[in-house]
Structure 1
Amino acid sequence: MAFECVDIEHSGRGLLRVFIDAPQGITVEDCALVSNQLTRTFAVEGVDFDRLEVSSPGMDRPLKKPSDFQRFLECEVKLKVRVPRNGQRNFMGQLVSADGSSIGLLVEGSLEPIVIEYADIERANLVPEF
């Protein structure tokens, strides 16, 4: 199927959440299509779950892979680093570069972007635009 699997969460009580995305966005029909396909596939493969939820990752989409960061260049990003930098773990700014090993984040009040290695990023999300 022509969808990207952004994330999978296995919650308590047998809930399995699958987040999908595509360049053109996700519709309710897309979620239903993927849900039906996954239900059949999981039955054949013996995947244990009670309920399946398929949805878009939302406006605050998580960024996990280098290709995610490259796709959303010039967007506002909020991220948390594993080890504090100058006593700070949370950053928000414009994503100005992304290569195979790191990103450049231009934070407010700074003239130069800070460079952060992917391995140092604990969590990163898009900042919703309204």
Structure 2
Amino acid sequence: MALQQTVEKTVTQTVSGLGYDLVEIERSAGGLLRVTIDLPWAGPAADGADDALVTVEDCEKVTRQLQYALEVEGVDYKRLEVSSPGIDRPLRHERDFERFAGEVIDIVLKAPMGEAAAGQVSANRKKFRGTLERVEAADGSHGWQIVWSDEPAAKPGQKVSKKRPPATLQALGFTLDELREARLAPIVDFKGRKPRSGAATPQ
């Protein structure tokens, strides 16, 4: 446990000290230490532009500094791998949810919804996919929900009648403490990018 804490503290301080966000630390069998980094988020872009992406040079810079810091701390590992998040980037902190509000995400609850969800979803269900939305409360606080539709999405090139009624949406509110896991949904459109809005079909 002490070794794990040393690794986490060293990696966290090194990555943040270089101006990056630490997304994930993994120690795999065979001595592999995998570190995932991202560029810091400054808030919604005024022009709607997407966030900049981590480059190979970014990963190389963090790798060099981590190798030195881990050696100083006497951390034993066989191989160090520093990479950028994939399209299924994990969401772990409040700032991650703030950053990716409006994106389609996959969540897994720690416990099933129970009878409180009766009539909407299965009481035993724990996995959901939907568009992440911020919910403002009357007292000024906020929470999170995902919104989805069980109706199949239109196929590419398919004509949709203007008389067709809008899809029926469902919403599920949650707190971060209720989540076992949350990730960006690995969805890619024809331009190689994830859609930024619109409800998704649940898993």
Q: CA deviation at 1:107?
A: 2.0
Distance (whole Å) between structure 2 residues aligned to residue 69 and residue 98 of structure 1: 12
Contact 1:9 1:18 in 2 (8 A): yes
Distance (whole Å) between structure 2 residues aligned to residue 90 and residue 29 of structure 1: 36
Question: Gaps spanning 5+ residues in structure 2: where?
Answer: 1-17, 40-50, 114-122, 151-167, 190-203
**What is the total number of aligned residue pairs between the two structures?**
130
Find the counterpart in structure 1 of residue 97 from structure 2.
69
Distance (whole Å) between structure 1 residues aligned to residue 60 and residue 170 of structure 2: 44
Q: Could you say which structure has the higher strand fraction?
A: 1
Quick check: 1:94 aligned with 2:131? yes
Report the AA paired with residue 175 of structure 2.
Answer: E
Contact 2:149 2:170 in 1 (8 A): no
Choose which of 141, 146, 149 in structure 2 pairs with 1:108: 149
TM-score by length of 1: 0.92
Report the AA paired with residue 105 of structure 1.
Answer: I
Cα offsets for 1:71-118 (capped at 9, x unmatched): 000000011001011211100000011688742111224545311111
Output the aligned Cα RMSD: 1.8
TM-score by length of 2: 0.60
Structure 1 ranges of 4+ moved more than 6 A: 98-101
Choose which of 66, 79, 83 in structure 1 pairs with 2:107: 79
Contact 1:60 1:127 in 2 (8 A): yes
Structure 2 SS opposite 1:88: coil
Q: 1:101 to 1:40 in 2, by over 3 A?
A: farther
Q: 1:98 to 1:118 in 2, by over 3 A?
A: farther
